[in-house]
Chain A
Amino acid sequence: MKGTPMSDDEMLRQAIQMSRDLSRRRFLRNAGMAAGGLVLSPALLAACGDDTKSTTATTNADSSTDAVRKVEPDTGTGIGGKSVTFSNWETYIDTGENDNASAAGTTIDRFQKETGITMDYKVDFNDNDEYFNKIFSPNLGTGKPIDPDVVAPSYWMAARLLGLGWLEKLPMGAIPNHKNLADQYLNLSWDDGAAYHMPWQAGITGIAYDPSRTGFEIKSFKDLFDDRLEGKISLLKEVRDTVGCAMLDMGKDPSKPDLDGAMAALDFIDEMRGKDKIRQFTGNEYLQPLSNGDVKACLAWSGDIVQLQRKQPNLKFVIPEAGSMQWFDTMVIPKGAKNTNAAAQWMNFVYDVDNAALITEFVQYVSPVKGVREALEAKGGDTALLAESQVLFPDDATQKRLKIFASLPQKDELAIQERFNNVKGA
């Protein structure tokens, strides 16, 4: 049995992504887009693919928003009101004609028309650490406000920002749809009741493997270190995913701050590295080794595997019995933002179930909004099939096994990161 070799296109795509030093989230977004195109209607597929006329479309969109700006009176009741800037990850929202996120009929376009608020949608959030060191820390750290009114960092970065006092409290009065937020986000230790953030999209970490290659079923994180897989497995460079899975396997709960537990998990991973069990620590680069057989099993992200399964139907994605990790990116308002009211209106808009369903339909991530599944079911056709996806809508039993990594005190967070860096590149 030889593995399916990667096509040249796949290679090139990976290379280009590597060269941009993509983070997994951004990659997943692209993967999700491609998957979306395949599952959904041809019209959407065309929308994903064709970007030849994007300039014209942008101009049109701009002129239409100009019109809105002139006609609508100032409806703002908080600070600002007429415009809002949102910095998000790439390909993380529905797009319309010519791949334009604010083309007619898109979420942004409808938001602008309904509220009279002009949205400046930027896709300049590529990497949590990079954005933190380049934008958040130098500005917010010296009391200077930053440009965007809404940013969507990953949950742990949002927790860090809140801990540093760099976030504005959400003006709840303007966000009645906050009630639609799924329950598991309401009791996070770092922001009980979600008063400072509203999740944008979420995803799942699990184990991907091909049973015909491993020769046995993988059920737990420990199974990855079976002698039969020596040097044929990879773990993730994202510290919270890898350490969290190891902690769960050891019966520890990563959703509670537990420095000793994390360090014990790291000791185990370090021991396995020393025994040459772990071939690599990867970002999304596990796709190639997983498809050509260099890696027989690995920690992986749901969105990637759903896409790879189209080429390798044998591939399995399992959530270990002991549980696994969930992650999410979340909307926050940075301290000193100029347009908090417009930002709140935007959050309210995308937490409307139908609006959220449209975004899910397009980006194919786990939606943090209650009722999206039912809304998709109601749409019928191909869209209703999405509602049955375990990866998009894990059932209650699965959801219970998914944990979100706890927010730790800064020195513990850094200690774990430092130890992990030494383990993954000793």
Chain B
Amino acid sequence: MAAADDTKSLRRARFAPYGLLSPGLIWLALFFLVPLATLIRLSLSEKPNAFLPEYNFTGSTANFSSAIGDNTDVLGRSFLYAAAATIAAILIGYPLAYFVAFRAGKYRTILLGLVILPFYTSFLIRTLAWKSLLADEGPVLRFLSSLKVDSLLEAVGVMQNGRVLNTSLSVIGGLTYNFLAFMILPIYVSLEKIDVRLLDAAQDLYNSPRAAFRRVVLPLSMPGVFAGTLLVFIPAAGDFVNAELLGGPNNAMIGSKVKDLLFNQSDYPSAAALSLVFMVLITAGVLLYAKVLGTDELVG
């Protein structure tokens, strides 16, 4: 009898983790796997008449080749803008997170609050505000032209044709601004965990402050940088608000294309194929990035 009870409790113990996982698994299955499967099926289908709700599953990959073929420019641009915004966010966010984590002292909480503060205003309103600030006759350009630096800025490509808006730079700037907090917060968390005595130890071992940073702080903060990169790069690549509001007809990103295919052209299979191509490219990019950074150790 005792042996049987043991087996039973053992069995129960073996299944317990699955029981605990089940809400998450069911959630994932319902709201990720099922839609994903539908999306894949749709992308391999054809809609004989764009206006009729009929789909024929053909298994043909024609939608994919046209999704890639017709949109190479836009796909390339989306990843380029997202990469540029991510790098800019690291360059701005890392020093800021470092300062808050190590130097802010009692103001730390307030400063962190300030990082999050812009989120109390809608994403759209903040982006529209940039549109006003950067307007051709707006405060920023007026200031720059009073400094007589506009021709210099034109020469280095920051300004085009007397404007900042509706250029690649304004879209990248908008993406950086809107997603910056998603870079700062994870880096801050990883920096804040670092035991400052490690820095003392490094200096005791004859490391200059710079070497101590490079050998101790930077490696220990890499998980934060990695997480921040994912949190910025992925949504930035798929974003279309910044491109639509701050960009011009030569700065379109992938989100707008998918929207056009879905609504204007009623072409669901192509929209599904383009979305999947985008997902695969993002996933591949992330895996490659993880491999290069060797995040197995970093995350663990």
B264 within 8 A of A: yes
Find chain B residues with CB under 8 A from A410 CB.
49-51
B contact residues, range: 35 or more
CA distance A132 to B262 in the complex (A): 11
Partner of B249, one of A3, A6, A273: A273
CA distance A350 to B128 in the complex (A): 40
CA distance A127 to B262 in the complex (A): 13
The reply to whether B266 and A11 contact each other, CB–CB distance below 8 Å, is: no
Find chain B residues with CB under 8 A from A294 CB.
135-137, 163, 165
Complex: chain A residue closest to B161, CB-CB: A231
The reply to whether A11 and B135 contact each other, CB–CB distance below 8 Å, is: no
Interface of chain A, helix or strand or loop or mixed? Answer: helix
A423 within 8 A of B: yes
- Give the shortest distance, in Å, between A423 (CB) and chain B (any CB): 7
Partner of B51, one of A15, A137, A422: A137
The reply to whether B256 and A6 contact each other, CB–CB distance below 8 Å, is: no
Within 8 A of B (CB), among A306-362: none
A contact residues, range: 35 or more
B209 within 8 A of A: no
CA distance A164 to B51 in the complex (A): 8
Partner of B137, one of A11, A142, A293, A425: A293
Find chain A residues with CB under 8 A from B267 CB.
414
Partner of B248, one of A14, A280, A418: A280
The reply to whether B161 and A230 contact each other, CB–CB distance below 8 Å, is: yes
Complex: chain A residue closest to B249, CB-CB: A273
The reply to whether B128 and A278 contact each other, CB–CB distance below 8 Å, is: no
Partner of A2, one of B49, B53, B137: B137
The reply to whether B137 and A292 contact each other, CB–CB distance below 8 Å, is: yes
Partner of A278, one of B131, B248, B256: B248
A124 within 8 A of B: no
The reply to whether B260 and A278 contact each other, CB–CB distance below 8 Å, is: no
- Given A280-B166, A294-B136, A424-B249, decide whether A141 and B53 contact each other with a Cβ distance below 8 A: yes
The reply to whether A276 and B137 contact each other, CB–CB distance below 8 Å, is: no
A12 within 8 A of B: yes
- Given A160-B51, A292-B137, decide whether A425 and B132 contact each other with a Cβ distance below 8 A: no
The reply to whether A425 and B166 contact each other, CB–CB distance below 8 Å, is: no
A256 within 8 A of B: no
Find chain B residues with CB under 8 A from A11 CB.
125, 128-129, 132
Find chain B residues with CB under 8 A from A418 CB.
265
A380 within 8 A of B: no
Complex: chain B residue closest to A161, CB-CB: B51
Within 8 A of A (CB), among B142-194: 142, 160-163, 165-166
The reply to whether B51 and A288 contact each other, CB–CB distance below 8 Å, is: no
Find chain B residues with CB under 8 A from A137 CB.
51-53, 266
- Given A160-B51, A280-B249, decide whether A133 and B266 contact each other with a Cβ distance below 8 A: yes
- Given A141-B51, A141-B53, decide whether A426 and B136 contact each other with a Cβ distance below 8 A: no
Find chain A residues with CB under 8 A from B165 CB.
279, 294
- Give the shortest distance, in Å, between B73 (CB) and chain A (any CB): 7
CA distance A285 to B266 in the complex (A): 24
The reply to whether A426 and B73 contact each other, CB–CB distance below 8 Å, is: yes
Partner of A18, one of B74, B128, B132, B266: B128
CA distance A293 to B142 in the complex (A): 13
CA distance A5 to B124 in the complex (A): 19
Encoded as 1 (CB less than 8 Å from any B CB) or 0, chain A from 257 to 292 comes to: 000000000000000010010111100010011001
Q: Shortest 6 CB-CB distances between A and B: which pairs?
A: A425-B252, A129-B263, A421-B260, A15-B125, A231-B161, A141-B53
CB-defined A-B contacts under 8 Å, sample of 6: A11-B128, A137-B53, A278-B248, A288-B128, A292-B136, A424-B249
